[in-house]
Amino acid sequence: MSKQFDVIVIGGGPGGYIAAIRAAQLGFNTACIDEWKNGKGGPAPGGTCTNVGCIPSKALLQSSEHFEHANKHFAEHGITASDVKMDVAKMLARKDGVVKQNNDGILYLFKKNKVSFFHGRGSFVKAAEGGYEIKVAGAAEETLVGKHIIVATGSNARQLPGVPFDEETVLSNDGALRVGAVPKKLALIGSGVIGLEMGSVWRRLGADVTILEGLPTFLGAVDEQIAKEAKKAFDKQGLKVELGVKVGEVAKTNAGVTIDYTDAKGEAKKLEADKLIVSIGRVPNTIGLNAEAVGLKLDDRGAIVVDDECKTSLPNVWAVGDVVRGPMLAHKAEEEGVAVAERIAGQHGHVNFNTIPWVIYTSPEIAWVGRTEQQLKADGVKYKAGTFPFLANGRARALGDTTGMVKFLADATTDEILGVHIVGPMASELISEAVVAMEFKASAEDIARICHAHPSLSEATKEAALAVDKRTLNF
């Protein structure tokens, strides 16, 4: 006898578990199926984000930043910390604990919101009376029928062709988050978000890190001025990034791995390393979903085809998060999950793709929302720019972290904020003000006239907004 639900969510990452909670809040009898297993084979909902993504990477970034501070910056404060050591096993155990707290938190939220959770792989069987039949293959086999199905099966790391991940020497994000000892030499391919975050973790802990990047520009999607400033800081830290390379043969050796590549000048080179992290993007995951059984349409990248409202090619089947088009970000997946649940309820769920913030959690942090200066030029938009350096911000000086700046881009005629770009301390938190401002269609002058606490990093935001009108007060 199959169990009948109003809404069945396949995938319990940020897109799926949030969609399930919202659907249950709206009064739907809701199930969520997720197959992720913890070390003991038990359920570990939260997806890539919680298990091998956002959360564990931020835990390691925090630990490694403490280590770097103790080694390099405590002395400036008059603190003597000699013989500072990193116990990698303890750092990883702490990270695992943080992950578990999040897994448990989601299971608690399912109970609280009366979401029925099924641990196992969900796959389409057929269109059935009253919706779609979904099989759960896990500890127990179940057959469910859902009137509405939300697919939120996420993404997997992209492999280099012919170089499979073994998670010992050639690592995806998964292996990169559980390296048991600091490698002497670490190579990464791809200097995108994962390359820079993971490269930073292991560099801070003492690895000699080289990142090989195929594109000739550093962080091409980031505002050029901000990317340049960030690159300067990474160069100073000793995080080596080689741009414009063409990766050739990757071979495992007794000692680790060798990577043949051609550099930007066309010269043949070889990089030797103990470990290699491949961080060249991610691919949508529909493995085991049996999409073909119901004729669910995928594009040539393997992503589920959806419209602006996350409707798929099938009636009452929706898809959200990394498995569909758009940026692969946890908060984008969550917003889509909420919007879909609300649309099922006949409400007007909405995701504003123009105000999705991006953050790279390196030091300095990089965060932005809206369009870059190069995009505005390409779009032929007349704009004014204003920047303010953290060097001139009292709180940044007190923190001892004055790298970077806040940059505002506003429409030349209306002064509406079109983009805000930050490189510097706590950029991840500062960007929220810009997101709110853009959602409310604020002008740069609106931010410039708002009282910001002193001393705070957010004063740099106010000053950058003042700079749009060339009237900074502290610079």
For 288, residues 6+ apart whose C-beta sits below 8 A from its C-beta are 121, 123
For 355, residues 6+ apart whose C-beta sits below 8 A from its C-beta are 369, 370, 435, 438, 439
Residue 67 dihedral angles phi and psi, to the nearest 5°: -60, -45
Sole binder of ligand FAD in the list 43, 131, 146, 154 (CB under 6 A) = 154
Per rule CB under 6 A, is residue 288 in the interface with ligand FAD? Answer: yes
Task: Judge whether 454 counts as a catalytic residue.
Answer: yes
Nearer to ligand FAD, 176 or 447 (CB): 176
Nearer to ligand NAI, 194 or 447 (CB): 194
Decide: 12 and 32 in contact? Cβ < 8 Å.
yes
Per rule CB under 6 A, is residue 36 in the interface with ligand FAD? Answer: yes
Q: Which of 66, 148, 452, 454 is catalytic?
A: 454
Could you give the CA distance from residue 407 to residue 420 in angstroms, rounded to a whole number? 6
Q: What is the dihedral of CA 161, 167, 173, 174, to 10 degrees?
A: 140
Nearer to ligand NAI, 332 or 462 (CB): 332
Nearer to ligand FAD, 49 or 460 (CB): 49
Which of ligand NAI, ligand FAD, none binds 11 (CB below 5-8 Å, type-dependent)?
Answer: ligand FAD
- Contacts of 94-98 with C-beta under 8 Å, sequence gap 24+, read 94/59, 94/63, 95/56, 95/59, 95/60, 95/63, 95/177, 96/39, 96/56, 98/55, 98/56, 98/59
Question: C-beta of 328: minimal distance to ligand FAD in Å?
Answer: 4
Residue with tokens 């510097």: 424
Sign (positive/negative) of CA torsion 475, 435, 430, 91? negative
Could you give the CA distance from residue 86 to residue 329 in angstroms, rounded to a whole number? 31
Nearer to ligand FAD, 11 or 256 (CB): 11
CB atoms within 10 A of CB 129: 6
Identify which range of 1-9, 10-18, 346-354, 440-448 contacts ligand FAD by CB under 6 A.
Answer: 10-18
**Residue 332's closest CA among 365, 306, 295, 300?**
306
Structure-block tokens of residue 211: 């990142």
Per rule CB under 6 A, is residue 152 in the interface with ligand FAD? Answer: yes
Name which of residues 293 to 352 contact ligand FAD (CB under 6 A): 321-323, 328-331, 333
Could you give the CA distance from residue 229 to residue 49 in angstroms, rounded to a whole number? 28
Nearer to ligand FAD, 121 or 371 (CB): 121
Per rule CB under 6 A, is residue 42 in the interface with ligand FAD? Answer: no
Which of ligand NAI, ligand FAD, none binds 190 (CB below 5-8 Å, type-dependent)?
Answer: ligand NAI
Buried b (16+ CB within 10 A) or exposed e, 203-217: bbbebebbbbbeeee
State the binding string over 45-84 for ligand FAD (x if CB under 6 A, else -).
Answer: --xxx---xx--x---------------------------
Question: C-beta of 173: minimal distance to ligand FAD in Å?
Answer: 4
Which of ligand FAD, ligand NAI, none binds 13 (CB below 5-8 Å, type-dependent)?
Answer: ligand FAD
Decide: 172 and 157 in contact? Cβ < 8 Å.
yes
Per rule CB under 6 A, is residue 211 in the interface with ligand FAD? Answer: no
Question: C-beta of 258: minimal distance to ligand FAD in Å?
Answer: 25
Q: Which chain residues interact with ligand NAI by CB under 6 A? A: 189-195, 197, 212-215, 247, 279-282, 327-329, 359-361
Question: C-beta of 172: minimal distance to ligand FAD in Å?
Answer: 8
For 409, residues 6+ apart whose C-beta sits below 8 A from its C-beta are 370, 371, 372, 373, 376, 383, 384, 385, 417, 418, 419, 420, 421
Q: What is the dihedral of CA 257, 262, 263, 268, to 10 degrees?
A: 90
Q: Is 128 exposed, middle or buried (0-12, 13-18, 19+ CB in 10 A)?
A: middle
Sole binder of ligand FAD in the list 289, 367, 426, 457 (CB under 6 A) = 289
Q: Which residue is nearest to ligand NAI (CB)?
A: 192
Nearer to ligand FAD, 45 or 419 (CB): 45
Could you give the CA distance from residue 20 to residue 7 in angstroms, rounded to a whole number? 8
Which of ligand FAD, ligand NAI, none binds 151 (CB below 5-8 Å, type-dependent)?
Answer: none
Per rule CB under 6 A, is residue 200 in the interface with ligand FAD? Answer: no
Nearer to ligand FAD, 14 or 190 (CB): 14
Decide: 143 and 311 in contact? Cβ < 8 Å.
no
Question: C-beta of 52: minimal distance to ligand NAI in Å?
Answer: 11
Question: Catalytic amino acids?
Answer: 454
Binding site for ligand FAD (CB under 6 A): 10-16, 33-36, 47-49, 53-54, 57, 121-123, 152-155, 173, 194, 285, 288-289, 321-323, 328-331, 333, 361
